[in-house]
């Protein structure tokens, strides 16, 4: 039987991918809470869904199996016991303290059938939806202006971030921002209880109970023996060390991890917002991650003298480091927006360098990034554009919106 998960490169023919179609959660965004919920604007639901459907259809047209997170979770919660446990965990992680409201909200959620309950959890539970909760505690009275018991989860369509497949195993991520932390609980339940995954003995390289954060947008599988991980606003150096040690100690394929430092800013939140692999020897890059001499900080981590030690080598030239680890004479870095001082940052902001490779040299991008798309084509890349007016409002592109579960190994 084929592995439930297998990713040994960024570019091998994509075979199975996990998506989430945006739903009512985006209608629960209001200006006051945009920042807390990590959005810069409010998408228009019918159009964001239409755009997402085009994205999913484009994948299917390319013979890629598209799985939806909500379907898998619904199938994973196949007994009352698992469903109740899931609701308990979600409420606990939503910081609903164990008092009257905990039980009332829990009962409310469990009154729905499983798919509807999952939709409700993702959409968020408004306070005015359950009126019969008596406010007994001071904190309940004080916070009553806040409209939700359970926050909406509008970032869920960025399935890239809560987990990452590396080789035949998985990192189930500890997410940095409170608005996203519950997302990886969905993956945890799917891996543990869904028939497609539960008996597969999938190795877990990193777990969501680790003290420091790691997010999937920072994890790039450059080849079967080299992973790149961003040291970013979302992923901590300590998490990279742990992940690297777990990989080195528990499998024999990954030999090195490149820890790539990027500016800690909203525009560059993950490594894949500024750097993606699109062919065996081609990458997109946003030039602003390098200094005026074209340098940046890259740390090559390898297995040290004992299982808890790493060898660390400091490099400053991305191109030379990539050539060395990928054993290639030439590599092309294609700058977002052609490196233009206006088109570059504009297209990067709208995910011009967040490219999803579905095969070597074949990518899906947002249509709005026409400067970058043209440049990719001029450099021999097959570019399939998808509409992006509303999808891009969440600050993520085609790579962020997809979690590859299976890719064909490169020859
Ligand atoms: N890999 C990615 O860069 N994902 C995009 C995540 C966007 C989301 N609004 C966030 O701030 O987490």
35-44, 91-100, 286-295: the lowest-pLDDT one: 91-100
pLDDT tens digits for range 282-320: 999 998 999 888 899 999 999 999 999 999 999 999 999
pLDDT value for 98: 47
Contacts 24+ apart (CB under 8 A), 72-79: 72/18, 72/190, 72/194, 72/196, 73/118, 73/186, 73/189, 73/190, 73/194, 74/114, 74/115, 74/118, 75/194, 75/195, 76/189, 76/190, 76/192, 76/193, 76/194, 77/114, 77/118, 77/189, 77/193, 78/193
- Rounded to 5, what percent of the chain is helix, strand, coil? 35, 20, 40
Give nearest CA residue, ligand 1 atom 11: 38
ipTM of model: 0.99
> Concatenated DSSP letters for 241-261?
HHHHHHHHHH-SS--EEEEEE
Give nearest CA residue, ligand 1 atom 5: 396
pLDDT tens digits for range 202-257: 999 999 999 999 999 999 999 999 999 999 999 999 999 999 999 999 877 999 99
Residues with C-beta less than 6 Å from any ligand 1 atom: 38, 155, 158, 160-161, 180, 217, 269-270, 272-273, 394-396, 400
Q: What percent of the chain has pLDDT over 70?
A: 95
Nearest atom (ligand 1) to Cα of 273: 3
Per the CB < 8 A criterion, the answer to whether 233 and 265 are in contact is yes
Give the Å distance between the CA of 19 and the centre of ligand 1.
Answer: 14
SS3 call for 49: helix
Name all domains of the chain by residue range, CATH numbers in brackets.
Answer: 155-407 (3.75.10.10)
Question: Can you tell me the distance from the alpha carbon of 69 to that of 115, in angstroms, rounded to the nearest whole number?
Answer: 11
Q: What percent of the chain has pLDDT over 90?
A: 87
Measured CA to CA in angstroms, residue 185 lies from 16, 66, 78, 93, 293 at distances of 21, 21, 16, 9, 42
What secondary structure letter does DSSP report for 157?
A: G
Ligand 1 binding pocket mutation candidate from 173, 269, 273, 356 (most atoms within 8 A of CB): 269
> Within 13 Å of residue 81, how many CA atoms lie on the same side as its CB?
1
């Amino acid at each position: 039987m084929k592995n439930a998960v297998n990713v040994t490169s960024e570019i091998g023919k994509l075979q199975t991918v996990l998506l989430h179609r945006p739903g009512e959660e985006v209608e629960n965004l209001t200006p006051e809470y945009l920042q807390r919920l990590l959005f810069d604007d409010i998408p228009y639901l019918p159009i964001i869904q239409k755009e997402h459907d085009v994205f999913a259809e484009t994948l299917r047209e390319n013979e890629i199996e598209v799985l939806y997170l909500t379907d898998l979770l619904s199938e994973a919660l196949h007994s009352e016991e698992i469903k109740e446990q899931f609701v308990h965990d979600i409420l606990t992680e939503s910081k609903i303290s164990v008092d009257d409201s905990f039980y009332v909200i829990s009962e409310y959620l469990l009154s729905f059938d499983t798919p509807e309950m999952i939709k409700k959890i993702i959409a968020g539970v408004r306070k005015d939806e359950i009126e019969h909760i008596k406010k007994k505690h001071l904190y309940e009275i004080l916070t009553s202006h806040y409209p939700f018991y359970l926050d909406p989860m509008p970032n869920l369509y960025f399935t890239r971030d809560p987990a990452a497949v590396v080789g035949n195993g998985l990192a189930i991520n500890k997410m940095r921002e409170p608005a996203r932390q519950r997302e990886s609980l969905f993956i945890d339940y799917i891996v543990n209880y869904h028939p497609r995954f539960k008996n597969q003995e999938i190795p877990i390289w990193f777990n969501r109970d680790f003290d420091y954060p790691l997010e999937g947008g920072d994890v790039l599988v450059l080849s079967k023996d080299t992973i790149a991980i961003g040291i970013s606003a979302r992923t901590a150096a300590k998490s990279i060390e742990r992940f690297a040690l777990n990989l080195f100690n528990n499998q024999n394929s990954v030999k090195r991890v490149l820890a790539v430092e990027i500016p800690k800013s909203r525009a560059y939140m993950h490594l894949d917002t500024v750097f993606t692999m699109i062919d065996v020897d081609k990458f997109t890059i946003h030039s602003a991650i390098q200094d005026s001499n074209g340098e940046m900080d890259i740390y090559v981590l390898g297995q040290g003298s004992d299982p808890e030690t790493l060898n660390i080598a400091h490099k400053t030239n991305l191109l030379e480091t990539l050539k060395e680890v990928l054993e290639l004479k030439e590599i092309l870095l294609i700058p977002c927006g052609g490196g233009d001082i206006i088109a570059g940052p504009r297209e990067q902001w709208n995910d011009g360098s967040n490219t999803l490779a579905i095969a070597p040299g074949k990518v899906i991008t947002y249509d709005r990034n026409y400067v970058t798309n043209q440049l990719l084509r001029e450099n021999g890349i097959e570019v399939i554009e998808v509409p992006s007016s509303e999808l891009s409002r969440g600050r993520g592109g085609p790579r962020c919106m997809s979690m590859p579960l299976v890719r064909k190994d490169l020859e």
